Amino acid sequence: MNVSFFFEVLAGGLLAGVMYSLVALGFVLIYKASGVFNYAQGSMVFFAALCFVSMLEGGLNFWLAIAITLAVMVLLGVLTERIVLRPLVNQPPITLFMATIGLSFVLEGISQIIWGSQPHGLELGIQDVPMEWLSEKANVNISQLDLFAALVAGALVAALALFFHKTRVGRALRAVADDHQAALSVGIPLQHIWIIVWAVAGFVALVAGLMWGARNGVQYSLTFVALKALPVLILGGFESIPGAIIGGLIIGASEKMAEVYLGPYVGGGLESWFPYVLALGFLLVRPQGLFGEKIIDRV
Amino acid sequence: MSEGRLQAAVRAHRIGGVILAVENVSLSFGGVQALRDVSFDVREHEVRAIIGPNGAGKSSMLNVVNGVYHPQKGTIRLQGREFHDMDPHEAAKMGIARTFQNIALFKGMTVLDNVMTGRNLKMRCSFLEQALWYGRARREELEHRRAVEQVIDFLEIQHIRKTPVARLPYGLQKRVELARALAAEPRLLLLDEPMAGMNLEEKQDMCRFILDVNDHYGTTIVLIEHDMGVVMDISDRVVVLDYGRKIGDGTPEEVRGNQAVIDAYLGVAH
Amino acid sequence: MLYREAGQFKSSYAQDQQIFPILQDRIAMMALLAFAFVVVPLIGNQYWLSAILTPLLVLALAALGLNILTGYAGQLSLGTAAFMAVGAFMAYNAQLRIPGIPILGSFVLGGLCAAAVGIVFGLPSLRIKGFYLAVATLACQFFVLWAINRVPWITNHSSSGVITAQQVVIFGYAFVTPASKYLLTLAIVTVMALLAKNLMRSETGRAFMAVRDMDVAASVIGIPMMKTKLLAFAISSFYCGVAGALYAFCYLGTVEPEAFTLDLSFRVLFMIIIGGVGSILGSFLGAAFITLLPTFLNLGSEILADALSIEIPHAIVSNLEAIVFGGLIILFLIVEPHGLARLWQIAKEKLRLWPFPH
């Protein structure tokens, strides 16, 4: 077995996993704060990416486009909270989940009506080419873009960790995630908190959209990335930020490895189902994921 | 002699041998010890009450008997057979039925359907026969319907048989749960606080029903109850638990005079 | 005044257990069936029969299957299309490889294979609940489609993956016209709906609902968890499998994996959400709604385009369809979580009182 090839595959898988983690992060944020499993996260990533790219193509300055897209995502979050979530506040989680499925269809429809359905390229100034000194020195090909994405993800997670643990707002967010009633009773304004959460999730969606868009172009298939985030969440637990990262890494690496090493025996295409079956196997052994909390059934 | 005592004397000679024996049962959840080395027995046709302050482990005891919780130590002897690990399904097949503290009715179904589920162990037809609704399946469904209607008559809930249970007031839901347990024609009926949250009238009705069940069907009853008046009136024997340990076991009079029991309820430090 | 129960007494439990206890309901049902079986084939045009009504019936059957699993037994499934695919491909293979097998036998065989797959992918439900289970069914969906594409035996070594379905011939009569295919589908769907209704109002249905509502209590009163959940998966998948076979043989005319994507699974899920979970009638109402909606949207946009003298590109209409679907899902979940079936019930109750307000 070629060792350097193995490392290449592993690194590629890990970095792909980072991409999944970025999307999973958005899920975790919203789930932590409102208990809603937001199936529409993928569509939000798509929406953010499309919005940004269209403005760039329209000639807008990079940072201005980011700012405007962020504002749009916040608005989207507020509208979602008001129109979809608030009326369904006491319903079982399954109902909320199905509502977010409906939301994802709405978002996809709207984005394609406004911005059309052709794929758009996204230039971030960093090419998706192997890093030269690595390929020369160690004969290992690792994409520059993927590395950059990993750095961005790392920075994002660090920033989020700081935000949640060091700021007052972050503390309030954690309180809300723990117990809505208790948070209310100490005077934390629930509606504001949810708006902040959806804004942060929107920002994360934007970052994810940018990274994915730069890698694969901004096109409809981006929405299916959300589906890949599901196994990530199952492995990492629905409520854990480090879990989302680690889960993503595991899924990304295992998916790549399976494709490369097992694929030839079964005709390829493993990545369409391998992460799900892996997550399924995991669930059977440990239903709460790596970092989740054990659920006890009381009668 | 009071009315209650007369009734007790009349019932006493119906009480048979031991059908349930709990032997040295200990149960803990993580660090919390719910039951410590508890032993007692239950005789056929009697009404046995389990009492004790909050958190004494009464519900846990019931859950151990019908297999929802598995004790770390000890055995349950049911009709001569020994169990370390009872499965709730197994318990149901052996003729144990129960009600729950927080009503465990099927909220999406009507009263009639809920009570009919109590008959499930007696239904023999396969799903294919049921799909065709012909001959044996049809006869079986109607026969069980007849049996269930008798229980419904017995507990006086005819007027609500087609109502979805989620719409019923608390007291009636408890009665429906009792009906469902009775529909299974159990040998041993476990009642977990059947009168919790009821007003005086509802309590009297429930007492009457419980006594009628014991008289009419001869069902052995084990019940957890907080209302001392009820316990003294209707039970033949009482077990007292406190902090997971048994501190009293005997007739209501014996237990009432037991100093340890009095201390437990008054909260004397021990 | 028409819709009154006065005077209709039930003097036996058998009468009480009827599917349509009220006389007016029975009459209405008879009339509807007569209309569907006799009138529609006579007056229906080709397009409506082959492109609207037949797929509507087939998808209603699939929705029925999903409803049994998700609505009655409470096990969320996103793998409906995969089960349909198994049914379609296995029916094709049965027809191909078993000499002399009647076409209906192939359909049943397809359904049974789908049931077997359903049981396998239903095993996780013994340990996993809620939407974790949904992820397990997603695994099923993706795996089955991948397997169909990769295992040459299934597609009879077809290079393109698209196979023409065999002709449906029963007792020498070939079902080729849209009307005949429609009638065959209608007959099969009606019979299976009746079987499902019987099943759901007997002990099996009650066991399913008990597991859905509170599974711990269900097992305490003696309902066997494993057997019940796996039976739900098996029956549901059987229905979806037969629906898949009908989809391929009586509607599409081809057997191809692309017809059974995740999108179809979501479609069927939307049908039961809008139509009403836990309701046989709801499956039909939801299927009708979702099948007819694109037609009406198209019609509406054509009228609008004519009226405003502009051109509305097809892409916009299909995106509009997505928005309307999604929006309706959200609307129904907020306003009437029990869907059209419940709205229908409420309408009937109002009708019983009519012309009095209450």
Is residue C209, in this structure, part of any structural domain at all?
yes
Measure B184 CA to nearest chain C CA, in Å. Answer: 8
Contact at CB, A234 and C135, closer than 8 angstroms? yes
Q: CB-hemisphere CA count at 13 Å for C317?
A: 17
State whether residue B47 is helix, strand or coil.
strand
CA angle A100–A89–C326, rounded 5-degree value: 25
Residues 174-233 of B with CB under 8 A from C: 180-181, 184
- Pick the closest to residue A146 from A280, A55, A16, A24 (CA basis): A16
Give chain B's mean pLDDT.
87
Lowest mean pLDDT among A76-90, A282-296, B13-27, B128-142: A282-296
* Partners of B238 in beta bridges: B49, B250
**Helix count (H) and strand count (E) of chain B?**
11, 10
Could you say which of C204, C213, C217 has the minimum Cβ distance to residue B108? C213
| pLDDT for A141 | 67
H or E segment and range at residue C148: helix C130-150
Q: Which domain holds residue C102?
A: 44-353
Nearest residue to B79 via CA among B48, B119, B47, B41:
B41
Q: Measured between CA atoms, how close is B81 to chain A, in angstroms?
A: 26
Residue found by looking up tokens 């494709």 in the block: A259
Q: Which residues contact A10 (CB under 8 A, 6 or more apart)?
A: A253, A256, A257
Residue type, C235: I
Chain B contact residues (CB < 8 Å to A): 63, 68, 100, 104
**A299: closest CA of chain B, how far (Å):** 8
**Which residue in C has a C-alpha nearest to residue A229's C-alpha?**
C135
Q: Looking at residue B124, what DSSP letter applies?
A: -
Q: Among A20-24, B235-239, C54-58, C258-262, which is the least confidently predicted range?
A: A20-24
C355 prior amide bond cis, ω within 30: yes
What would the pLDDT profile of C282-337 be if each residue is shown by its tens digit? Answer: 999 999 999 998 888 888 888 888 887 777 777 778 888 889 888 988 998 898 88
The pLDDT score that the predictor gives to residue A138 is: 63
Question: How far is it, in rounded angstroms, from Cα C203 to Cα B128?
Answer: 11
Task: Answer yes or no: are the C-beta atoms of B191 and B222 closer than 8 Å.
Answer: yes
Give the pairing type, strands B245-250 and C173-174. Answer: unpaired
Q: Is residue C74 part of a domain?
A: yes
Which residues in chain C have their CB less than 8 angstroms from residue B111's CB?
none
pLDDT at A134 over 70: no
If contacts are CB pairs under 8 Å, which of residues 252-271 in chain A contact chain C? 266-267, 269-270
Whether B269 has a pLDDT exceeding 60, the answer reads no
> ipTM for the complex?
0.86
At residue B149, the pLDDT reads 93
Size of the A and B interface in Cβ pairs below 8 Å: 4
Chain C residues touching A97 at Cβ < 8 A:
131, 134
B1 touches chain C (CB under 8 A): no
- B176 pLDDT more than 90: yes
In contact, A199 and A173? CB cutoff 8 Å:
no
The number of folded domains in chain C is 1
Report the SS3 class of residue B199: coil
Residue A128: what pLDDT?
65
pLDDT for res A299? 43
| Residue A26 pLDDT | 86
Q: Note whether residue C275 is domain-resident.
A: yes
Alpha carbon distance B246, B22 (integer Å) = 12
pLDDT band at B261 (very low <50, low <70, confident <90, very high): confident
Q: At what angle do helices A41-57 and A190-216 cross, to 10 degrees?
A: 60
Half-sphere exposure of C92 (CA within 13 A, CB side): 27
C301, C241 contact by CB (below 8 A): no
User: What three-state secondary structure class fits C6?
Assistant: coil
> Would you say residue A117 has pLDDT above 80?
no
Residue B123 pLDDT class (50, 70, 90 cuts): confident
Question: Which band of pLDDT confidence, cut at 50, 70 and 90, is reported for residue B125?
Answer: confident
Q: Would you say residue C22 lies in a domain?
A: no
Given pLDDT bands bounded at 50, 70 and 90, which one contains residue B6?
A: low
Q: What is the CATH number of the domain that holds C82?
A: 1.10.3470
User: Tokens for C15?
Assistant: 């009468």
| Residue C141 in this model has a pLDDT that exceeds 50 | yes
Cβ contact, residue pair C198, B89, below 8 Å: no
Task: Using alpha carbons, list the distances in angstroms from residue C1 to A70, B105, C5.
Answer: 60, 37, 10
Q: Is C39 helix (H, G, I), strand (E, B) or coil?
A: helix
Asked whether residue A259 is assigned to any structural domain, the reply reads yes
pLDDT in tens, A259-276: 888 877 777 778 788 888
Closest partner CB to C221 (pick from B127, B142, B180)? B180
pLDDT, residue C115, reads 96
**A29 found inside a domain:** yes
Q: How far apart are CA B55 and CA A87, in angstroms?
A: 38
Model confidence pLDDT, tens digit, residues A65-87: 888 888 888 888 888 888 888 88
Chain C interface includes B92 (CB < 8 A): yes
What residue in C sits closest to B94 (Cα-Cα)?
Answer: C222
CA distance C167 to C175: 7
**Nearest by Cα to C42 from C177, C136, C165, C155:** C177
Domains of chain B: 3-95+186-266 (3.40.50.300), 107-169 (no CATH)
pTM above 0.90, yes or no: no
**B138 touching C (Cβ < 8 Å):** yes
pLDDT band at A298 (very low <50, low <70, confident <90, very high): very low
Amino acid letter, C258: E
Q: Which residue has the higher pLDDT, A121 or A54?
A: A54
- What span, in angstroms and rounded, lies between the C-alpha atoms of A230 and C136? 10
Q: Is the pLDDT confidence value at B186 over 90?
A: yes
Share of chain B above pLDDT 70, in %: 93
Long-range contacts of A173-177 (CB under 8 A, 24+ apart): A173/A32, A173/A33, A173/A197, A174/A32, A176/A33, A176/A34, A177/A32, A177/A33, A177/A239
Closest residue by Cα to residue B193 from B51, B71, B56:
B51
pLDDT confidence of residue C41 = 82
Domain count for chain A, please give it. Answer: 1
Percentage of chain B lying above the pLDDT 90 cut: 42
Is A144 inside any structural domain? no
Q: What is the mean pLDDT of residues C240-265?
A: 91
Distances from the Cα of C67 to the Cα of B136, C75, C213, C232, angstroms: 27, 10, 15, 10
Res B190 pLDDT > 80: yes
Q: Which residues of chain B lie closer than 8 angstroms to A299, CB-CB?
A: 63, 68, 100, 104
Over residues B48-67, the pLDDT tens digits come to 999 988 878 898 999 999 88
List all chains that touch chain C, counting a touch as 3 or more CB pairs closer than 8 Å. A, B
- The residue ranking higher by pLDDT, A209 or B240, is B240
Please tell me which of A143-152, A287-296, B6-15, C229-238 the model is most confident about, judged by mean pLDDT: C229-238
| Mean pLDDT in residue range C185-197 | 94
Nearest to C83 by CA among C100, C70, C74: C70
Identify the CA nearest to A143 among candidates A9, A293, A285, A1.
A9
Render C175-192 in DSSP notation, one character per residue. --SHHHHHHHHHHHHHHH
Write down the H helix ranges in chain A: 3-34, 41-57, 62-79, 93-115, 132-137, 144-166, 168-178, 180-185, 190-216, 225-236, 241-257, 263-266, 274-285
Looking at the domain assignment, is residue A142 inside a domain? Answer: no
Tell whether C31 is covered by a domain: no
pLDDT digits (tens, 9 = 90+) for A30-63: 887 777 888 888 888 888 888 888 888 887 788 8
Give yes or no for residue C109 having a pLDDT over 80: yes
Range of the domain at A21: 3-120+172-285
pLDDT of amino acid C272: 92
From residue A181, alpha-carbon distances to A37, B29, B71, B74 in Å are 20, 27, 35, 41
Q: Which of B86, B99, B117, B178 to mutate to test the interface with C (most CBs of C within 10 A)?
A: B117
Is the pLDDT score of C69 beyond 50? yes
C195, C212, C221 ranked by CB distance to B118: nearest? C221
pLDDT for position C191? 95
Q: Are strands B245-250 and B237-242 parallel, antiparallel or unpaired?
A: antiparallel
Instruction: In whole angstroms, give the CA distance from residue C322 to residue A235.
Output: 31
Kindly state whether residue C3 falls inside one of the protein's structural domains: no
How far is residue C193's CA from residue C199's CA, in Å, rounded to a whole number? 10
Burial zone of C325 (CB within 10 Å; 0-12 exposed, 13-18 middle, 19+ buried):
buried
Q: C113 with C268: CB under 8 angstroms? A: no
Do the domain assignments include residue A149? Answer: no
| Closest in C14, C221, C235 to B120, CB measured | C221
Q: Is the pLDDT of residue A295 over 50?
A: yes
Size of chain C, expressed as the number of residues it contains: 358
Distance to chain C for B124, nearest Cα, Å: 10
- CA C149 from chain center: how many Å? 25
**Whole-angstrom distance, CA of residue A109 vs CA of residue A107:** 5
Which residues are CB-neighbours of B48 under 8 A, at least 6 positions away?
B42, B220, B221, B222, B223, B235, B236, B237, B238, B239
pLDDT value at position B168? 92
Confidence at residue C9, expressed as pLDDT on a 0 to 100 scale: 72
Average pLDDT, chain A: 79
Q: Which of A10-19, B15-24, C36-45 has the highest mean pLDDT?
A: B15-24
Please return the burial class of B153, using the count of CB atoms within 10 Å of its CB with bins 0-12, 13-18 and 19+.
Answer: exposed
Contact B130 C14 (CB under 8 A): no
Distance from CA of B263 to the nearest CA of C (A): 36
Q: How far is CA A16 from the centre of its chain?
A: 12
pLDDT in the model for residue B1 = 40
d(CA B43, CA B246): 18
Q: Does residue A159 form part of some domain?
A: no
Inter-axis angle of helices C262-275 and C314-335, nearest 10: 40
